[in-house]
Chains A and B, each alone.
Chain A
Amino acid sequence: MGATAVGKMINVRNLKKHFSTSKGVLRAVDDVSFDIPEGQTLGLVGESGCGKSTLGRLLLRLYEPTAGEVHFDESSLFSLSPSELKKWRQEAQMIFQDPYASLNPRMTAEDIVAEPLKIHGIDIDPDTIAKSFQQVNLNPQHRSRYPHEFSGGQRQRIGIARALILNPRFLVCDEPIAALDVSVQAQIVNLLKDLQKQMNLTYLFISHDLRMVRYIADEVAVMYLGKIVEKAPTEVLFKNPLHPYTKALLSAIPLPDPALEKKRRRIVLHGEVPSPLHPPKGCGFCTRCPLAKDLCRESSPPLNEVEPGHFVSCHFPCIN
């Protein structure tokens, strides 16, 4: 992960976002680097408060960073002028977690979907709107209904149609399925996968649910206390997790299979995630790590490539 790689759509280098609060500096995102190739999905997982949403917002420049660089194609995101930034926003959109809070209850579905066109001064053609409804499997005849007349899954489809109306190339999906029922979650994940194929979209898929991430992501990054602790191609990460935190996270997920559940040896983590206001010295995970040694409490491990494409930030990765 050295110099800016070519052919990668999104390049993130040493990105930091620190918030100053009355209680001190909160390191929400602390020196994070990765790439997302065009047409692929990076799954970003971690528990609440680990900084994954802040990272998603930084990639859309909804926050200004404390340090670091994000390149979108060749251009440096944080040096765009306001007018360039507005133009760039057509290329990058967001899908939000809560389909109840992210749609204006006083606007019709049609107006919600057309609003980005209005903002960017593009002519609104009724056919375009109808097409975008069909694209996300919504009935165009329901275009003049209000959000409360739709179910949660349908509302999330409206949110997706709104994000796609400008033909963007990059989407940040921030927990897009967390508020939905399991049977509907699968509908939305399948829709996102189909759309990605049709439109060659690039996704940053933020989720706390590793199970869903496995179905949609090409690569997965695990975050803990503002840092990426492990990153690998999806199947590699699930088959051969190397960071003790990733292992614990995977083992905490219940399997829908009572026979397997009985046989399973679970790693139960003790304690809580430390406050990002006062991160521990050394490795961020050392306070809860079952394998922590003196070195872990002294120095923070770098993110090393232990096999091609598999990065882990641990002094003693669990290599079998």
Chain B
Amino acid sequence: MVYYPSVTRLLPLTTVRRERVLPVEGEVLVSAGARVESMSVVARAKVPGRYVILNVAQALRLAPDAADKRIALRPGQSVNAGQVVANRRIALGLVPRVVRVPQAGVVVAVGGGRVLLETAGQPVELRAFLPGRVENVLPRRGVLVETIGALIQGVWGVGGESFGVLKVLVEQPDEPLRARSIDVSCHGAVLVGGTTVDQDGLQQALELQVKGIIIGSLSPATLETARGMPFPVVATEGLGQAAMAQPVFQLLRTNEGREAAISGRTQLRWGAVRPEVVIPLPARSASLPPSPDTPLAAGLQVRVVRGPLTGAVGKVERMPSQPSTLETGARVWGAVVTFAEGEQRFIPNFNLELLG
């Protein structure tokens, strides 16, 4: 049976392209071909402020049509706080009633005795995230940035984006990242641990203002704390206690001391987004990631994504022609995989993914 497994990217050298898009339309500040750094601002926009409805008719005790005639503002007009919207003298003309603009902004609509005002919005800046070259400009929306380097996709992540020097704090991928190993030298660094990180470790990282953490797994118990951190945390294996896969650890270790862009953004569906680490490398060219349409076959490198061997990486030895029975009693199609030290195990197809 032909089976096309999902793919997790683990590429020591590839071309990485990422679209950087503003939340609302704005101004793109760079041109195609421009060189950018991770923190370069490539576009900016103003996120609209809140809307305020000024009920002039009610305030001036007039019918809507009459109030409209007294409104001195027009749609599109910029206004300052305190500016007069409309006025009327009541009580034999002795008492003035004035409606003023409560906050600076722009008039959106006038009618029905009311004024709709949009208050001044907040400026937002879009950074390049990847240091590299602007491949393409998306008018008024953003840019496509390209860089060459190593790409490591995570499985679960929290937090936003960050950039810092990689610092590996464990000797082996099955060692946890402990609070005591996070010292002052970690300030501003992206830390790499093995299995997982506990609450103390996260707190210590917070105090020392690290830029991010890359870890094998996140325990459900620490998930909420991790979500509250100002830096991204990327788990390369998922949730639980699984150790970081050896090839992932090896690639990170090889690049220790280099700067890395790390994103914890995770969206499971509807244009899924996976957390990732990109390590820019000084190479002139590299191929794009290979096609994901690779059927599972003997000789391919795979990673186990569920069960007692979660995170283990091995090579497909053969694809049995019949389903096998699991401990649960389920009969499933799968592959015989050879792991380190020659151990061979049957793994269900659905619990395998390609790594590469």
A binds B: no
